[in-house]
Amino acid sequence: MPVIPSNKEVVIQGTAVSPGLSFGPAHVISRGLQAPELYSIHAKQVEKEIQRVHDALDNTKKEIGELQKHIEEITNDTEGQIFEAHIMLLSDRTMIKRVDARIRERLQNAEFCFYAVIQNYAEAMRRVNDPYLSERAADIDDIAQRVLRNFSSDDESPREDTPEHNHIVIAHDLSPSDTAMLDRDRCEGFATEQGSVNSHTAILARSLGIPAVVGLQGLIIEIQERSQTILDGYDGKLIINPKPSTIAHYHTIKREKEARERLLDNLRDRQTATTDGRDITLSANVEFNHEFPLVESSGAAGIGLFRTEFYLLGKGEIPSEESQYQVYSEAARITAPHQAIIRTLDAGGDKLPAEPLPEPEPNPFLGWRGIRVSLTRRGMFKEQLRAILRASAHGRLGVMFPLVSGVGEIMQAKSILQECMDELDREQTPYDPGIEVGVMIEVPSAAMMADEIAKEVDFFSIGTNDLIQYTVAVDRVNKHVSNLYKPTNPAVIRLIKMTVEAANNNGIWTGVCGEMASDLLLTPLLIGLGVDELSVGTHQLPKIKKAIRSLSHAECATLADEALRCRFSSDILALTEKLAHRTYGSLFD
């Protein structure tokens, strides 16, 4: 497909996954292992270039050795041995000789010669008629990327990965970690060829308030670096080389949106209650500690979900207990007198992996994730629990365990928590002995056993993203079946009601922290089902507060009773959509 000429306005339609309007030049990120620059060298430079190869390999071996040691320390095991194959490849004499020979024979720069040789290795692995071995090509790409980063740049100025100007990121796809690492001071939004509205990357974009559009096929081939663009995160459009009239039109839309948002800001300090007096706790979801001030400024009643996986895993090295203690203490202080709920590490699935695995999981959504990771990595788990407990001396904290499937896992987690409390008692370290302990209800087995689980905890928080996925057996990031991922599926609604009733019967409260909590169309349904708390992204919080304050709890309860008798998702959606538009229709403009 030809590159779009700079004088032609083109509109590419995709899927809106995070609302907002952005203007700026495109910054195009290619997919896969990128080839380094190729340039010729003089014969006198050959030995120097060969030395650069050896230095880069040595530095990479040191990095991997440190990573291996760290993994073994936090796992109290020998899991770091999975990196032995990486180190063996970096020491492979045949590979090194081929790189050296290529430099001598072709008089080309070191990094390109290394890249050319390692790509042959990866391609050979991809062609092996064995699923396990062919998957190892990704490992080779990972090693190659590390080595390429370690080449010195004595003879050329370093090239920045991220431009210093404000921009819109254009990529084949972004992982959750890629999204988490975006420079939020300069990145105005992103557009990708791949992705779905229910992927964790999309969820993260909404949580961070970054406008995003996905599903723009062929985008990278068409668009040039620094092309002027408009990203429409409301209607799912990317406009390339917009005409002056188009730019003026979208600036008008942006001013209108911002004016509505200013009106909503006036509700910041008002009570979050329905028109007939039903109080709802409206708290915030956060991913990073630099978001803590936004919790206070948004008017949230504390933090309903601090997703710690990005803080713990985002930089490649898990922070120490002391570092975690400082961050959790900050959360406790800044949300006082409200509560801040810290979810323990929730890795796996389409989130960040807890650590590299010796072989890819055949189905990571049904694999090593959630509380399962923590229970098998006691050293890492105890560090996090101790840090949370110590921080609870500085404010009102709660601890929450993710993806529990039954009572047994909760008992194991609570036992380790008690072990940490006993240690702190012996050390005479202060903490809150009455810290609230809760669990995520994310799988059908947990919802069906909610009456028993409720006897062991202080609160439930329903993670609707995974609850929907596991209830209807749909991988939410699989474009072939994502149309079956419906929040209003009757089975999902009944499981939510079952969970709320079990909590009520045992005197504990129930919140919702998944995407359903942020969906204005579904607010009447959730209120009617009897939830006590909604936890949403700070950018969405003012709209949800306005919606709650516009609704009658009695009318919502009648709606929920009718919804529980429905057989089809579409019928439930129609009920709640009708009430939402009638009550606060202006929020959808």
Residue pointed to by tokens 């939020």: 184
* Phi, psi angle pair for 105, to nearest 5°: -75, -35
Please identify which of the residues 394, 513, 553, 556 carries the catalytic annotation. 513
Q: Which two tokens stand for residue 353?
A: 């992996």
200 is an active site residue: yes
Distances (CA, A) of 59 to 50, 81, 143, 151: 14, 19, 12, 9
Report the DSSP beta bridge partners of residue 240: 10, 229
Strands 167-171 and 187-192: parallel
Distances (CA, A) of 98 to 49, 52, 93, 121, 142: 14, 15, 9, 11, 20
| DSSP per residue, 112-168 | HHHHHHHHHHHHHHHTSS-HHHHHHHHHHHHHHHHHHHTS--TTSPPPPSS-SS-EE
CA contacts within 13 A on the Cβ side of 401? 32
Please identify which of the residues 200, 338, 394, 553 carries the catalytic annotation. 200
420 is an active site residue: no
Cis peptide bond prior to 356, omega within 30° of 0: no
Instruction: Work out the angle between the directed axes of helices 553-563 and 569-584 (0-180°, nearest 10).
Output: 160
Q: Which two tokens stand for residue 179?
A: 């999204």
The answer to whether 236 touches 14, Cβ cutoff 8 Å, is yes
Catalytic residue numbers?
200, 513
